[in-house]
Amino acid sequence: MTYVFSPPAIASVAVAGSDARFPVRRIFCVGRNYVDHVREMGNDPKSEPPIFFTKPADAVVESGAAIAYAANTSNLHFEVELVLAIGKGGADIAEADAASHIWGYAVGVDLTRRDRQAEAKKVGAPWDVAKAFDQSAPIGAIAPAGAALTKARIHLDVNGVTKQDSDIAEMIWSVPEVVAHLSRSWALQPGDLVFTGTPSGVGPLAIGDQVQCAVEGLPPLSFSIVAR
Ligand code: MN
């Protein structure tokens, strides 16, 4: 096969305790998955099914990176999230089978242009410009899945001050429910990542900020924000 120019490298994420890397195929994200965050955004948690959106695979950024403050926003927000790494594909996956499709877990941040998202919501426009930009998916190393993850502290600090602090047990849709719902609309494939939504406490980042976050039991994620 000859291409008209060199194809891009495959986006990938570090794996805890291994030199092998997890190749990223797609990034799916869940909107509105913690009751307190749904309320802080002015929505009723019980009234709506899960919302899915996507980011490009090459939006991933390694832990330890200096991330440029995104273009086209003056309100860049952090959203710490549990990330599922899919290792076995499938459509219409039953909740009871969901765990067998999960290769591992990581902590990630769904960086968001909140000003652009607010404008999109107002007119019912897509969220791509708010969510799917370059370097919008910092993610820690993936820990291979062990026992099902049902309860774990999830938190995010900016410059040593805790901004988000919750537990994944507070998710409106649990990990198996997220996999089941998502796989009704997409045939999941090995390499897919799923950002599972953020708890309350989201807020803005500024140039010079140091971000640290973790899900209990998983490798932590840190990054800084620098000028473009
Ligand atoms: Mn999010």
Residue 46's pLDDT is 59
Residue 148's pLDDT is 74
Q: Give distance in angstroms: CA of 202 to centre of ligand 1.
A: 9
Q: Which helix (H) or strand (E) holds 176?
A: helix 175-185
Residue 55's pLDDT is 98
Residue 48's pLDDT is 75
pLDDT in tens, 145-201: 977 789 999 999 999 999 999 999 999 999 999 999 999 999 999 999 999 999 999
Q: What is the pTM of this model?
A: 0.96
Q: How far is CA 176 from CA 43, 84, 148, 207, in A?
A: 23, 10, 9, 37
Q: Give distance in angstroms: CA of 110 to centre of ligand 1.
A: 5
What residues of the chain score a pLDDT lower than 70?
46-47
Q: Which domains does the chain have, with CATH numbers?
A: 12-226 (3.90.850.10)
Q: Give distance in angstroms: CA of 75 to centre of ligand 1.
A: 15
- In this structure, the number of other CB atoms found within 10 A of the CB of residue 3 comes to 6
Residue 39's pLDDT is 80
Radius of gyration of the chain (CA): 17
Choose among 99, 196, 198, 86: nearest CA to 142: 86
Q: Give distance in angstroms: CA of 31 to centre of ligand 1.
A: 5
Residue 151's pLDDT is 94
